[in-house]
A and B are shown apart, each in its own frame.
Chain A
Amino acid sequence: MSGVIIGLEIHCQLKTKTKLFCGCSNDYHDVEPNTHVCPICLGLPGTMPKLNRMSIEYALRVAKALHLEVPEVCEFSRKNYFYPDLPKGYQITMYDKPLAERGYLMVEDDEGREKKVRITRIHLEEDPGRLVHKTGRDRAGYTLVDYNRSGVPLIEIVTEPDIKSPKEARRFLNKLRATLEYLDVFDGDREGAIRVDANISISGNNRVECKNISSYKGVEKALNFELRRQTNLIRRGQEVVRETRHYMEAQGITTSSRSKEEENDYRYFPEPDLRPLHVQDWLEKIELPELPDARRERFVEQYGLSYEHAKTLTGDPKVADFYEEVAEIGAELAATWVADTLLGELNYRNMRIEAVEPMNFADLVVLLRDGDITDRVAVDVLRMMLDQIAKGEECGMPADIVSSLNLGRVDESEHDEMIRKIIEANPKAVEDFRAGKKGAVNFLVGQVMKETRGRADPKALAPAITRLLEATVED
């Protein structure tokens, strides 16, 4: 679709140990409300922020990885507005002296070519508290506040409107997420760790801002919806109103917002309780780890993998780490099994690769490599192992599973015995074969596989069956 202009504003929670301005634990999931709070993040009168060193380190890593420039002086500012989740009545953020500006991230466009999406700026700011609305007759009239999240460090990343489609936006986010995970500053699996505001317009028309997107899939969905909505308006000769819209995850639509926030004048001024940052030298000294693109190229070179496999394997640093631990069993084999099989099975079960012991997995693939089991059995055993892990049981050793369930590969010497039985049991197939019908052999292969519960090797079966069938003809 031509003329689509998309810009993104992304907020990511940094995985420091403590909050941005106080020593409270940064991990607020699965804890009781208002238990990771102190006078500072509660906004009690008389408190003052204390800036977390690691948040600057992490933010500068991001700046370096995204090729941004750090100015001589950076400064925190207050953004003033009133909301129940904002304990101080202002958010400490960065306004006119952000941490870094003018960088880029390489992303694949819709034609498969690499392009630059420019990053306007990045800066640090604190997360507000969390509002919880309970249902029930009496409870709808008020809201409940949990300040555990208040003060969690966020990095805000703003792009130029360089993105040309919802799919490209999704790829940008995936690439960004991977980069942040490679830098070890972000945990993309944490709930609520990422929030996206998207700006979208169709060339020549007004820009619409979509807020409240909190998942990667949501971004693509929201933008697709907006694109359709705006296209329809234009087709009907109607104006696309310049406004802020709210994304509703459950329905997959955006609705007009008309919130007070739009009209707000935030009255920014420099935070008087903090001192400025001079961090150009710090940026110089940062040594970046191997990033996704470099790792992908190395996988292609070092392991001889295809671009596609390398891309899939390096899309998540944990997957890449896993692969490198098992690659010695055979680079190509390991790549196929991790990228094409394991990831799919994990995804289906909503499991993470960290749950799998690399050596266990490697042992299984080695059994296959050495011919002890067939492809089909390997997949079955893998599924059994994953199911065990998912249930919280200890995962069995592959060799044990194979022998205890008698899943070992049927030896070729045993083939003939089995095939003869099947041939005798299926006279029609024999007739078909004699009549020249090609499907007959495959049918019989299937029968043998069924009989042996997949333990026979289909590749060796077909010629064996053919040989034995021909032998019967000669009789």
Chain B
Amino acid sequence: MQGIYTFDAEDRHNAFITRQEEVRYGDGKLSGVAIAVKDNISTKGMQTTCASRILEGYVPPYDAHVVSLLRREGAAIVGKTNMDEFGMGTTTENSAFGPTTNPCDSTCVPGGSSGGSAAAVASGMVKMALGTDTGGSIRCPAAFCGIVGLKPTYGRISRYGLIAYSNSLEQIGPMAGNVGDVSRLMEVISAPDRHDSTTYARPYEHTPVADIGGKRIGLPAEYFGEGVDKDVAAAVRKATEKLEEMGAELVECSIPSMAYALAAYYVICTSEASSNLSRFDGVRYGPAVEKRRQWHPEFRDHRGKRFGTEVQRRIMLGTFALSAGYYGKYYAKAQIAKENVRRDFTRILEDVDLIAGPTMPTTAFKIGEKTDPLSMYLSDILTVPANLAGLPAISVPCGKVAKMPVGLQLIGKPFGEEAVIDAAYAYEQGVSQ
């Protein structure tokens, strides 16, 4: 089956940066399915900006591995979605192309950084979308917009073509309105790739099974404690009780390393970002620099003008953390902390099959509400541990608080996406009856 997909849906939420009106599609598992791709994933021939002015007009001459897989399966790639610049944010407010709004309430943020992809799915413009998750950037907008989003195990999906923010933490992942579609998309994008030396060849081939009987589910105290909105915690507890009704066993547990997980996350991601973002010199691509000025002053001004404030802040933090005299205090310590988080999860997952908790400490807040950087960073507290531990984690809608969606987060064992999907599917099927 081949054809042309006409993409004329109205974009009321500013979900897209670049759109294609008419899209040719081919044969395959996703033949004719309208899919949106987050704008930090390279698409040959289609502008890719990372929602930044420093990449305005950049048209990649190559496809990301996952994009070539989508094309191979006949998907209709209808456009590139809005995001926090370079993935740095939790609300998609840090975009050079204006914020995306939440389809559930357009005065609220859709979450971030894959807010555009989430809004595109939640508003019905597309069936599925690709997002990326470095510290929660798929799961957060999935929770805030009431859709399903999966962050795969680190190393399961090729990052070749993903414009890097934090190489040791991020993964591309599927987002859709239901677990079944997330699973379908996961199948297509998980084919192995020699271009990415950090991947394991572990393709995902699975049809979701709604069976949770006998599964042990850990509930970490830290996910339901101080810092988490009481109503959100209650909604998620109720969701876990539903799982219990369906045959799962709930187990209390604790993750002591949560105390410094967020600090470790921000040290690592800003350090790596400060290096990854050094290549945008306006010489080979992107808006051009003035050739007749001297290199250093022009390069400095170029970056100062074209990077947004949050990106500049994170570059500065990362530069500082890696600088002489501070490496031991920050980056080296953060790596040990990361390993401690991974060990905590490994220990718990020896005893339980899955870990459950809220995806976010609150529901979506108002656009413009959070202005202090640190308080914004603290919103990531429940999502970053899965990135640090490299584990698969999904957010599935589990009700509403004051009309805004709440996300149930399920975290699984390394390469245990199948079990995570099954549990989410079981919940989704369970509540729909």
Alpha-carbon gap, A268 to B281, bound state (A): 20
Counting from the closest, the 9 A-B pairs by CB-CB distance are: A89-B278, A267-B322, A272-B167, A45-B163, A142-B291, A272-B168, A46-B161, A46-B42, A141-B292
Contact of B198 among A47, A89, A275 (CB under 8 A): A275
CB-defined A-B contacts under 8 Å, sample of 17 = A39-B60, A39-B62, A42-B284, A45-B50, A45-B60, A46-B42, A46-B160, A46-B161, A48-B195, A50-B197, A80-B274, A80-B322, A82-B296, A84-B283, A90-B275, A142-B291, A274-B198
Alpha-carbon gap, A145 to B283, bound state (A): 9
Interface check A269, CB cutoff 8 A: yes
Min CB distance, B273 to chain A, in Å? 11
Residues of B within 8 A of A274 (CB): 197-198
Interface-facing stretch out of B323-331, B347-355, B405-413: B323-331
If A82-B299, A260-B296 touch, whether A50 touches B275 (CB-CB below 8 Å) is no
Residues of B within 8 A of A61 (CB): none
Interface check B367, CB cutoff 8 A: no
Most chain B CB neighbours (cut-off 10 Å) among A45, A145, A269: A45
If A82-B296, A82-B299 touch, whether A269 touches B331 (CB-CB below 8 Å) is yes
- Which residue of A is nearest B321, CB measured? A267
Interface check B272, CB cutoff 8 A: yes
Alpha-carbon gap, A145 to B197, bound state (A): 29
Complex interface residues of chain B between 159 and 215 (CB less than 8 A to chain A): 159-164, 167-168, 194-198
Min CB distance, A18 to chain B, in Å? 14
Interface check B31, CB cutoff 8 A: no
If A267-B323, A269-B322, A269-B327 touch, whether A47 touches B285 (CB-CB below 8 Å) is no
Complex interface residues of chain B between 17 and 62 (CB less than 8 A to chain A): 41-42, 48, 50, 55, 58, 60-62
User: What mask results when residues 391 to 409 of chain B are scored 1 for a CB within 8 Å of chain A, else 0?
Assistant: 0000000000000000000
Complex interface residues of chain A between 36 and 59 (CB less than 8 A to chain B): 39, 42-51
User: What mask results when residues 454 to 473 of chain A are scored 1 for a CB within 8 Å of chain B, else 0?
Assistant: 00000000000000000000
Interface check A189, CB cutoff 8 A: no
Residues of B within 8 A of A267 (CB): 274-275, 319, 322-324, 327
Alpha-carbon gap, A145 to B295, bound state (A): 13
Alpha-carbon gap, A273 to B155, bound state (A): 11
Interface check A414, CB cutoff 8 A: no
Residues of B within 8 A of A275 (CB): 197-198
Alpha-carbon gap, A459 to B272, bound state (A): 79
Residues of B within 8 A of A295 (CB): none
- Which residue of A is nearest B326, CB measured? A267
If A46-B60, A47-B160 touch, whether A265 touches B323 (CB-CB below 8 Å) is yes
User: Is A273 within 8 A of B197, CB to CB?
Assistant: yes
Interface check B114, CB cutoff 8 A: no
Most chain A CB neighbours (cut-off 10 Å) among B42, B198, B274, B278: B278
Alpha-carbon gap, A48 to B159, bound state (A): 8
Binding site for A on B (CB under 8 A): 41-42, 48, 50, 55, 58, 60-62, 64, 159-164, 167-168, 194-198, 271-272, 274-275, 277-281, 283-285, 291-292, 295-296, 299, 319, 322-324, 327, 331
Alpha-carbon gap, A43 to B278, bound state (A): 10
A-B contact count (CB 8 A): 107
User: Is B197 within 8 A of A45, CB to CB?
Assistant: no
- Which residue of B is nearest A83, CB measured? B295
Min CB distance, A124 to chain B, in Å? 15
Contact-residue size bin, chain A (C-beta under 8 Å from the other chain): 20 to 34
Alpha-carbon gap, A269 to B274, bound state (A): 11
Residues of A within 8 A of B283 (CB): 84, 145
Alpha-carbon gap, A429 to B62, bound state (A): 88
Alpha-carbon gap, A467 to B346, bound state (A): 105
Most chain A CB neighbours (cut-off 10 Å) among B50, B197, B274: B197
Additional 19 contacts, C-beta under 8 A, given A44-B61, A44-B285, A47-B161: A43-B284, A44-B42, A45-B285, A46-B160, A48-B159, A80-B275, A80-B322, A87-B279, A88-B279, A89-B278, A142-B292, A260-B296, A267-B274, A267-B275, A267-B319, A267-B322, A268-B327, A269-B322, A273-B197
Min CB distance, B211 to chain A, in Å? 36
Interface check A177, CB cutoff 8 A: no
Min CB distance, B270 to chain A, in Å? 12
Contact of A45 among B271, B274, B275, B279 (CB under 8 A): B279
Interface check A221, CB cutoff 8 A: no
User: Is B60 within 8 A of A44, CB to CB?
Assistant: yes
Min CB distance, A198 to chain B, in Å? 25
Min CB distance, A185 to chain B, in Å? 23
Alpha-carbon gap, A87 to B60, bound state (A): 16
Interface check A211, CB cutoff 8 A: no
Alpha-carbon gap, A147 to B285, bound state (A): 14
Contact of B278 among A44, A47, A90, A272 (CB under 8 A): A90
Most chain B CB neighbours (cut-off 10 Å) among A50, A80, A88, A272: A272
User: What mask results when residues 133 to 150 of chain A are scored 1 for a CB within 8 Å of chain B, else 0?
Assistant: 000000001100101000
If A83-B295, A269-B322 touch, whether A46 touches B272 (CB-CB below 8 Å) is no
Interface check A175, CB cutoff 8 A: no
Interface check A78, CB cutoff 8 A: yes
User: Is A265 within 8 A of B324, CB to CB?
Assistant: yes
Residues of B within 8 A of A87 (CB): 279, 284
Min CB distance, A145 to chain B, in Å? 7
